[in-house]
Amino acid sequence: MNERTHKINFRIQLVAVGIGIVLMGVKFFAWWLTNSNAILTDALESIINVVAGLFALYSLHITSIPKDANHPYGHGKVEFMAAGFEGGLIVLAGLLIVGKGAYNLIFPQELEKIDIGLILTAFSGLINFGLGFFVLRQGKKSHSLTMQADGKHLLSDAYSSAGILLGMLLLYFTGATWLDNLTAIIFGFVILYTGLQLLRTSVSGIMDEAEPETIRPLVDIMLQNRRDNWVDIHNLRAIRYGSAIHIDCHLTVPWYFTVEEGHAEVKLLETLVQKDNPTQVELFVHADPCRPPSACSICRKADCAQRQAAFERDVPWTLESLLHLRNHQEL
C-alpha cells in the first residue's frame, strides 16, 4: 500500500470515528428517553464502535511505517491484533446485552417515549449502514484488514439497528414490553457471532494460516505466463502482512543454466507476479536445478541439448500441487 492510500485510509477512519462518537451520543440519548434494553443494545455496541475505531486508527498509523531493521517484513501484522481486539470487545458487548435482556425478561422495566426512540434508532442505523459500506469498500480496495473489520462491524451495527427497529415497532403497536428484551437477546447473540468471527480471522492471521483466496490468483498468474524454462514450481508459501503478501517458492530451471541465466528466470517470475497482481507482493524465489532423466519427461524445453528422455506430459500447476513440498522427481 503506497503512502497516498495510507493517508486516504487514515482520514476516512478518522471521519468514521467522529461520526461514531456522535451516533453513540444519539443512541444513549434515545435509551435515556425510552429506558429500552433493545436501544441500550445499540448504544453499547456504539461504545465498541468508537473504541475499536480508535484502535483501528492506531493500527493504520503503525502499518504505514516502512520496514526497518527490527521489522524486516513491515508492521502489517498489527492489523490482525486490531481485528482481534475489536472482536473481543464485540463479544464482551454481546454477553452484556444478552445478560441484561435475560434479566429484564424476569424483572421487567417500564418503557417510555418509544416513538422518539424509533426515530433516533432509524436515523443512526441508516448513517451506520452508509458509513460501514463505504469503509468496507475502501478496505477491500486498499487490502486493509483493519478497515474491512471496522466496516463489517459498522454494517453489523446497522443490521442490528434494523432488527431492533423492527422489534420496537412491534412493541409500539402491541404494547408487549417483553418484546423489547427478546429483541435485545436475539441481537446480542448476533453481535456475539460477529465478534467470534473477527477473533477467528485474527487468530488465523497471527498463526499464518494458509489463505486459498490469496494464493489462487498467484497460481493463475504463474499458469498463464508459464515458460518452457520453468520446469516446475513447488513449495509455494504465501503470508499476508497487512496489505502486502510475502511469497516463498522453489523454481526448477535447467541444470546447466549459469547463475546469471537462473537469476534472470527468477526475476522474470517475480516481475510477472508483481505486475499482474493488484496487491503489493514480495517474492523470495529459490532456484532448483532439474535432474535428468526424470525431469525430461515433464520438461517442454524443445531446444535442450542435454535432453535424455522425450517429453511426455505437463506438470499440472494447481493450488494443491504448487503448495506441495516436492519436486519433479517425486511426481
46-55, 234-243, 298-307: least confidently modelled range: 234-243
CA distances from 75 to 64, 72, 195, 240 (A): 8, 9, 24, 11
Q: What is the mean pLDDT of the chain?
A: 77
Residue 59 has pLDDT above 60, yes or no: yes
Tell the residue number behind the cell numbers 511469497, with chain if given.
247
Q: Report the phi/psi class of residue 67: left, alpha or beta, with left for phi > 0 and alpha for psi in -120 to 50.
A: beta
Whether 147 contacts 69, CB under 8 Å: no
Percentage of the chain modeled with pLDDT above 90: 1
**Regarding predicted confidence, which is higher, 17 or 328?**
17
Report domain extents, the chain.
Answer: 3-206, 212-330
Whether 162 contacts 186, CB under 8 Å: no
Whether 254 contacts 264, CB under 8 Å: no
Average pLDDT over residues 178-207: 75
Q: What does the pLDDT look like over 102-120, one tens digit per residue?
A: 877 777 766 677 778 778 8
Regarding pTM above 0.85, the answer is no
**Regarding predicted confidence, which is higher, 324 or 331?**
324
pLDDT of residue 97: 76
Q: What is the DSSP secondary structure assignment for residue 310, as one 8-state letter?
A: -
Fold (topology level) of 212-330? Alpha-Beta Plaits (3.30.70)
Fold (topology level) of 3-206? Alpha-lytic protease prodomain-like (1.20.1510)
Whether 300 contacts 328, CB under 8 Å: no
Q: Which three cell numbers stand for residue 144?
A: 486493509
- Please give the Cα distance from 309 to 324 (Å, whole number): 25
Percentage of the chain modeled with pLDDT above 70: 81
pLDDT of residue 75: 60
Pairing of strands 232-241, 244-253: antiparallel
Q: In which element (H, E) is residue 244 found?
A: strand 244-253
**Regarding predicted confidence, which is higher, 161 or 331?**
161
Whether 144 contacts 56, CB under 8 Å: no
Q: Which three cell numbers stand for residue 78?
A: 498489527
Q: What is the DSSP secondary structure assignment for residue 314, as one 8-state letter?
A: P
70-79, 134-143, 183-192, 253-262: least confidently modelled range: 70-79
Q: What does the pLDDT look like over 265-282, one tens digit per residue?
A: 888 888 887 776 656 677
129-143, 180-194, 196-210, 279-293: least confidently modelled range: 196-210
DSSP letters, 68-136, are -SS-TT-STTHHHHHHHHHHHHHHHHHHHHHHHHHHHHHS------HHHHHHHHHHHHHHHHHHHHHHH
pLDDT of residue 212: 66
Residue 1 has pLDDT above 80, yes or no: no
Q: In which element (H, E) is residue 240 found?
A: strand 232-241
- Please give the Cα distance from 312 to 315 (Å, whole number): 10
Average pLDDT over residues 226-252: 79
pLDDT of residue 16: 85
Average pLDDT over residues 164-178: 75
The pLDDT-based confidence of 260 (bands split at 50, 70, 90) is: very high
- Please give the Cα distance from 90 to 303 (Å, whole number): 62
Q: What does the pLDDT look like over 297-320, one tens digit per residue?
A: 888 888 888 888 888 887 777 766
